Amino acid sequence: MIYLDNAATTRVCPEAALAAMAVMTEGFGNPSSRYAHGAAAAERLQADRATVAAAVGCLPEELFFTSCGTEGDNWAIRAAVEYGKRKGRHIITTAIEHSAVLEPVRALANQGYEVTYLRPDRWGRIDPQDLAAALRPDTVLVSMMLVNNELGTILPVKEAAEAIRASGSPALLHTDTVQAFLKVPFTPKDLGVDLLTISGHKVRAPKGIGALYIRKGLKLKPLMLGGGQESGMRPGTEPTAQIAALAAACQAWLDHREEYTKRIEDTKNYFLDSFSAALPQGVVVSHGDAPHICAVSLPGYPSEMLVRELSDRGICVSSGSACHRGKPSHVFAATGRPKAELLGALRVSFSPENTTEECDALVQALVEITSARVAAR
């Protein structure tokens, strides 16, 4: 199998798998238990939290473990509007956010909140001036992802923070960094955000673990009520095996960060060059600012068909959410490109394990599929 859909999920790295196994079979105590085995689990949990916090660039006490990026996004959005409910009912987000942001924002709109959706240019980039112009005295939340999951573009989160401060707006700033984490350098302080979401399975940890950064001093309501774990903010017995795996995956990536970034970016650029040379009818929809994501299109060849035929050849890529029941995704549609380009769009996303030989195999398969379709017409 040739796996080139790493923006969807990643293969768990050996370090993460071994860490999870050790905790599940040996250090399996409940961190809330008072005896020695529980205390050892609590000590391991504290160390793992510090490792993940260092990878995020925050204090351990600012990091709260969640089950996934979707949970973190929902928690951040709902807590932020609750925090600002006496100051206003206006939200700003972008038209190209993940559904984990757009759906809770849509639910709030149904409850009477006014929402401004910033639209991208044809390359998926957001103009910081549009954000500055949209800010109002009653804006209570700005939610803007750092790296778009379908285009790989980097959004102006830092500029958004500067605009919020310059305007005097009471808005809290949330960013979904699920696709940016460990791939694009940042810290919450440098970005100027109040809330920040990560997910483990995008960085070679298992599914079922993520985290939410909450700026120190920001007093938000807990996600739910219970036994007081996660400083009472997200109670429930901690998933210590998943947390250990996330910490191990973070450390493994950090140990090779420069090497991984260069390898991924070089592989992506090799693919884009090969695609353009072999398929002149193709279109590069996005080169991707982030090192690991790009998007291409073969107008006239529906992406659902391409994904299916590539799968038959043992190659995994995605239309992302790029084609759902014959319609372009909200991300690609927001770029305003021609419909034929949107319907033929493919997202290709890379990990450190991918090779140029795999890129050659993907390009050759696309040549064969398109040639066969032409011959059949």
Tens of pLDDT, residue by residue over 175-219, are: 999 999 999 999 999 999 999 999 999 999 999 999 999 999 999
Whether pTM exceeds 0.85: yes
Q: What whole-number distance in Å separates Cα of residue 291 and Cα of residue 351?
A: 10
Q: Is residue 340 over pLDDT 70?
A: yes
Band the pLDDT of 323: cuts 50, 70, 90. Answer: very low
pLDDT recorded at residue 75: 98
Contacts of 138 (CB under 8 A, 6+ apart): 87, 88, 89, 90
SS (H, E, C) 161-205: HHHHHHHCCCCEEEEECCCCCCCCCCCHHHHCCCEEEEEHHHCCC
Rg over alpha carbons for the chain, rounded to the nearest Å, is 21
Q: What whole-number distance in Å separates Cα of residue 155 and Cα of residue 176?
A: 11
Q: What whole-number distance in Å separates Cα of residue 37 and Cα of residue 289?
A: 46
Band the pLDDT of 325: cuts 50, 70, 90. Answer: low
Q: Is residue 374 over pLDDT 90?
A: no
Band the pLDDT of 329: cuts 50, 70, 90. Answer: confident
% the chain with pLDDT above 70: 96
CATH 3.90.1150.10 for domain 256-376: yes
Across the chain, mean pLDDT equals: 95
% the chain with pLDDT above 90: 94
Band the pLDDT of 372: cuts 50, 70, 90. Answer: confident
Q: Is residue 376 over pLDDT 90?
A: no
Task: State the span(s) of the chain assigned CATH 3.90.1150.10.
Answer: 256-376
Q: In what order do the strands lie in the sheet with 210-214?
A: 63-66, 210-214, 195-199, 172-176, 139-143, 90-94, 114-118
Task: State the span(s) of the chain assigned CATH 3.40.640.10.
Answer: 14-255
Average pLDDT over residues 309-334: 80
Average pLDDT over residues 19-25: 97
Band the pLDDT of 9: cuts 50, 70, 90. Answer: very high
- Least confidently predicted of 5-14, 180-189, 335-344: 335-344
Write the DSSP string, 85-119.
Answer: TTT--EEEEETT--HHHHHHHHHHHHTT-EEEEE-
Q: Is residue 370 over pLDDT 60?
A: yes
CATH number, domain 14-255: 3.40.640.10
pLDDT recorded at residue 322: 39
Q: What whole-number distance in Å separates Cα of residue 104 and Cα of residue 116?
A: 14
Enzyme catalytic residues: 323
Determine contact, residues 155/94, Cβ cutoff 8 Å. yes
Render pLDDT for 261-307 as a digit per residue (tens, 0 to 9).
999 999 999 999 999 999 999 999 999 999 999 999 999 999 999 99
pLDDT recorded at residue 101: 98
Straight-line distance from the first to the last Cα atom of the chain, in angstroms, rounded to the nearest whole number: 30
pLDDT recorded at residue 174: 98
Q: What whole-number distance in Å separates Cα of residue 205 and Cα of residue 88?
A: 39
Average pLDDT over residues 111-133: 96
